[in-house]
A and B are shown apart, each in its own frame.
Chain A
């Protein structure tokens, strides 16, 4: 799972409706994998990203390349787009856990795949 996907995942345990995003990583194993950069796509994603959540998640993972706030000229700031590309599309979470900041539910990641399935009583 790449960090762009994590940026769209929230806790969905029944009744857990507030403060359930972003899920906190723990004991994660990361891997960098090069990917072709697509600037049009990145520009399109700028308004869709939960940028604050991305920055705070990255800081906890020890990735501190992203500026705290998105530059005003982000869409045409090549340096920023490159960093963003590397962070959201080239950083893979291979294994670990994601913990809900609210209800503390643990979602496991194995072989790069987050398990968002819940037990019957949690739905």
Chain B
């Protein structure tokens, strides 16, 4: 999946790569294997970071982690979509990470959190953002990307088999169609 980011778009090699909601670190580990120069992962869950650290050790990958809440309200842009006035608690990061990867939470009760992640990533990234979203939300995301003034293309279509992970999930497991999207900031 990330291979395309590397070979087609040259968004990985020698780059500073951020990983939003890094979980066990798999996307960053893949990026590091393809030659990213610096990796930093963000997650709200210390247990996930602990697992990610062990995975990095196993693959002998150097990566920093930050325990942080990326859905924090400070980032929410004003409804006009004009983000210049909004105060972001990560402004210091702005433009420093060439590429931001994310697998934002979806299929949870908190609707729209994936869009908060995405907006934040697009604000902070220097060049490109890669993200996974349910195919059913593609139209909505394409519309948003246009509003935000970024290019968006579908890099790959995948199928996920999601096991029942919340008590409100009705089925034991469900196949869902997922898009791997690339956003590029137009300078």
A10 touches B95 (CB 8 A): no
Nearest residue (CB) in B for A5 is B64
A17 to B91, CA, bound (A): 10
Which parts of B66-113 form the interface with A (CB within 8 Å)?
Answer: 66-69, 72-74, 87, 89-93, 95-96, 98
A92-117, CB under 8 A of B: which get 1 and which 0?
00000000000000000001111111
B27 within 8 A of A: no
Interface residues of B, CB < 8 Å — how many?
Answer: 31
Given A12-B72, A41-B16, CB of A113 within 8 Å of CB of B89: no
Which parts of A1-16 form the interface with B (CB within 8 Å)?
Answer: 1-2, 4-5, 8-10, 12, 14
B2 within 8 A of A: no
Separation in Å of the A111 CB from the closest CB of chain B? 7
User: What number of residue pairs across chains A and B have CB atoms under 8 A from each other?
Assistant: 77
Across-interface contacts of B14 in A (CB, < 8 A): 38, 40-41, 44
A8 touches B92 (CB 8 A): yes
Across-interface contacts of A45 in B (CB, < 8 A): 16, 38, 96
Separation in Å of the B76 CB from the closest CB of chain A? 11
A21 within 8 A of B: yes
Across-interface contacts of B153 in A (CB, < 8 A): none
Among B44, B49, B90, the residue within 8 A (CB) of A113 is B49
Separation in Å of the A82 CB from the closest CB of chain B? 15
Across-interface contacts of A72 in B (CB, < 8 A): none
A12 to B89, CA, bound (A): 5
A54 within 8 A of B: no
A50 to B50, CA, bound (A): 29
Separation in Å of the A16 CB from the closest CB of chain B? 9
A111 to B65, CA, bound (A): 10
Nearest residue (CB) in B for A35 is B62
Nearest residue (CB) in B for A49 is B96
A1 touches B64 (CB 8 A): yes
Binding site for A on B (CB under 8 A): 14-16, 37-38, 40, 44, 46, 49-50, 53, 62, 64-69, 72-74, 87, 89-93, 95-96, 98, 126
